[in-house]
């Protein structure tokens, strides 16, 4: 939480600062904020793609409540093998030539099958970001054939129960696989392996294909742990962007979220008027008689 929260408050009604450089191309942003409503909806801060699912809502791991609070966060969405979230439609990942997925996550048990995000039509036509029981993280971008980036022995970098920040970038304008897909962990570029030939496009438009957060599109391989601050961009973030996003998230997004003065200007004016010293009393005119 920003250190300046004592003099500013979050504009919960309109929380996204559209002028912040890191918000350029932001298509959706799911994050639990103070006073976030519970229920069955995980609200998109941009106001476009609320995600319906099972047991969606803020957990008790907020400020001062839990030992698992992520750096810079106010809460978390816990995934216990049943929880997931699905925006009804998500055009930003339909026939996209570039996109980025960024999120905070922690995994209860590592080296298991668990999807962070998936947009599925078929095995050879999908977008997926997941861990697997072969000790790899996979970033799949399939458009008619199977192709992916994989981070081997991910348990060398990620521990069970510990928060990590992951950024997966796809840029269809690249020539080589390495130019098309990159993975950043806690702000640092990771040395990855590749399989197949990553496409220049991601998805042919499939209206019935939903984005699933916390599970595979077929409701399998659900994430067990927690997630928060899931951002999807309609552009490819650069290495500098990924590092700055990680840093900003640890600080509670002092520029990316919209803050307003607290107390409000009118309250400050009233308080100032009440404490302002009264003006000096004016002395009445006195008539002096000159001595004879």
- pLDDT at position 86 is 82
| 103's tokens | 């999120």
| 163's tokens | 């928060």
Average pLDDT for 191-195: 96
What does the pLDDT look like over 200-239, one tens digit per residue? 876 665 556 788 899 998 889 999 988 889 999 999 999 9
- pLDDT at position 55 is 47
22-257 is classed CATH 2.60.120.200? yes
Query: Dmax of the chain from CA atoms?
Result: 118
Flag whether the pTM goes above 0.75: yes
Domain locations in the chain as residue ranges: 22-257
Q: Kindly tell me the burial class for residue 189, based on how many C-beta atoms sit within 10 Å of its own C-beta (0-12, 13-18, 19 or more).
A: middle
Q: Are 87 and 210 in contact (CB under 8 A)?
A: yes
Q: What are phi and psi of 213, to 5 degrees?
A: -105, 115
Q: Would you say how long the chain is, in residues?
A: 292
Alpha helix (H) residue ranges in the chain = 177-180, 239-250, 265-275
């Amino acid at each position: 939480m920003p250190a300046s929260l004592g003099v500013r408050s979050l504009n919960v009604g309109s929380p996204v600062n559209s002028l912040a450089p890191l918000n350029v191309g932001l298509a959706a942003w799911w994050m639990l904020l103070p006073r976030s409503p519970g229920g069955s909806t995980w609200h998109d801060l941009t106001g476009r793609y609320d995600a319906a699912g099972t047991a969606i809502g803020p957990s008790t791991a907020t400020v001062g409540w839990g030992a698992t609070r992520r750096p810079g966060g106010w809460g978390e969405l816990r995934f216990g093998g049943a929880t997931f979230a699905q925006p009804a439609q998500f055009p930003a990942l339909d026939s996209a030539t570039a996109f980025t997925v960024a999120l905070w996550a922690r995994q209860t048990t590592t080296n298991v099958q668990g999807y962070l995000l998936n947009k599925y039509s078929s095995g050879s036509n999908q977008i997926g970001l997941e861990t697997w029981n072969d000790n790899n993280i996979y970033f799949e971008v399939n458009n008619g054939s199977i192709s992916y980036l994989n981070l081997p022995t991910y348990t060398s970098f990620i521990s069970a129960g510990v928060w990590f920040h992951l950024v997966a970038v796809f840029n269809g304008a690249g020539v080589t696989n390495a130019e098309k897909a990159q993975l950043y962990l806690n702000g640092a570029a990771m040395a990855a392996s590749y399989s197949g030939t990553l496409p220049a496009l991601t998805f042919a438009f499939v209206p019935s294909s939903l984005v699933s957060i916390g599970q595979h599109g077929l409701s399998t391989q659900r994430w067990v742990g927690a997630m928060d601050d899931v951002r999807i961009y309609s552009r490819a973030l650069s290495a500098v962007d990924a590092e700055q996003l990680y840093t900003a998230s640890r600080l509670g997004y002092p520029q990316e979220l919209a803050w307003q003065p607290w107390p409000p200007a009118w309250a400050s004016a009233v308080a100032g008027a009440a404490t302002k010293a009264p003006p000096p009393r004016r002395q009445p005119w006195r008539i002096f008689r000159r001595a004879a």
